[in-house]
Amino acid sequence: MDDLLSYTDRKLTALYLGCSIKAVLALEKVNHLTIQLNRALDKHHKATHDDQLEQTEKALDAAKAKVKDEFEVYIDNIESGREISDVMKYNSKEVLQSVLERLNILNAAGIFHPNPPPFGNANGRCHQIKHLSDDEQAMFLSMRLETIFRQCRDSGVKASLQHIIFLDEAHKFITEDSNNIINIIAKEGRKFGLGLWCASQSPTHFSEDFLTNCGTTILLGLHSSYWGMACRKLRIEPTVLKFIRPQQAAAIKLQLKGSMESKFQNAIINEATLAAID
């Protein structure tokens, strides 16, 4: 984050001062002088009197000399070879200023602090991100899950579950985009020993990629307005939905390895289960 802030600040300073990217400025000067040169050439062909011809030739020689000087400055100051692309990409001071302000806000939030959180060797790690805005939460979650998934993938295929991610209020982060990291983990995570549990208020909040790759689905309570959609999307019988009672009875589907698609079954939630949930 510090490097990104520094880079953005340098780009913004370059736009305000207009002189830090010498190669670009020199090339712009070349373009301007080339126009002057073409005008001088045009005047030269149209000149009829000796004094006018002599004056035009002097102006033409001066313009040529300036063009050569500016080209020399341009060539001497080429650093990355992307100078023209940079100017076209960062041509708005207002946009870049807003980007810098946004980065400063992200940096102040602390989610990209260079020092890792003091989890130590704890088996369970909880990230509290309620104080962040929705956009900041989405960015943090995406990058954190990307890191976890990459670490599990790089360690190789696993025969059993090694890590589990619990994600509350999952509707904030799940989309139908196949490149969404939650969908990627749902499809590929288990072979690398990575599990994912997501909680939300309705099945409508989950993508097709996620739902079709769930090993376990639990309905603890569902508003009747969602029943029709749930029956179609989850293939659950209406009689099973009617049996659900918040904190009393749930509907559970376990997809066992090597078996055909399972059906939802009702389960009574006893006091021990409630205590575990609380």
Residues 144 and 83 in one domain: no
pLDDT recorded at residue 50: 64
pLDDT at 157 over 90: yes
User: Half-sphere exposure of residue 161, counting CA atoms within 13 Å on the CB side?
Assistant: 7
Q: DSSP letters along 180-203, please?
A: SHHHHHHHHGGGGTEEEEE--S-G
Residues 98 and 149 in one domain: no
pLDDT recorded at residue 47: 64
pLDDT recorded at residue 241: 84
Residue 161 sits in a domain whose CATH number is 3.40.50.300
Q: Is residue 108 part of a domain?
A: no
Q: Is residue 115 part of a domain?
A: no
CA distances from 244 to 12, 204, 252, 276 (A): 58, 18, 10, 19
Residues 74 and 210 in one domain: no
- pLDDT for 51-79, tens place per residue? 665 676 677 677 677 767 766 776 676 66
Contact assessment for residue 30 and residue 70, using Cβ atoms and an 8 Å cutoff? yes
| Number of domains into which the chain is organized | 2
- Which of 67, 57, 58, 72 is closest to 32 using CA atoms? 67
Contact assessment for residue 67 and residue 34, using Cβ atoms and an 8 Å cutoff? yes
Alpha-carbon gap, residue 154 to 157, rounded angstroms: 9
Any long-range contacts for 112-120 (C-beta under 8 Å, 24+ apart)?
112/1, 113/1, 114/1, 114/2
Residues 50 and 153 in one domain: no
Q: Is the dihedral of CA 105, 108, 113, 118 positive or negative?
A: negative
Contact assessment for residue 228 and residue 222, using Cβ atoms and an 8 Å cutoff? no
Residues 226 and 173 in one domain: yes
pLDDT at 271 over 70: no
Q: Is residue 107 part of a domain?
A: no
pLDDT at 277 over 80: no
What would the mean pLDDT of 158-181 be, rounded to a whole number? 90
Residues 161 and 78 in one domain: no
pLDDT recorded at residue 57: 67
Cβ neighbour number for residue 136 with a 10 Å cutoff: 16
Q: Helix, strand or coil for residue 31?
A: helix
Which helix H or strand E contains 219, and what residues bound it? strand 216-219
Report which DSSP code applies to 123.
Answer: S
Q: Is residue 215 part of a domain?
A: yes
Q: DSSP letters along 53-114, please?
A: HHHHHHHHHHHHHHHHHHHHHHHHT-SSS-HHHHHHHT--HHHHHHHHHHHHHHHHHTTT-S
Cα angle 202-204-207, degrees, rounded to a multiple of 5: 120
Q: Is residue 109 part of a domain?
A: no
Residues 81 and 217 in one domain: no
Residues 195 and 86 in one domain: no
Alpha-carbon gap, residue 181 to 173, rounded angstroms: 9
Q: Is residue 261 part of a domain?
A: yes
Residues 268 and 171 in one domain: yes
Instruction: State which of 51, 69, 102 marks the end of a domain.
Output: 102
Residues 252 and 160 in one domain: yes
Domain assignment of residue 161, given as a range: 122-277
Q: Is residue 60 part of a domain?
A: yes
What would the mean pLDDT of 247-256 be, rounded to a whole number? 84
Residue 81 identity: G
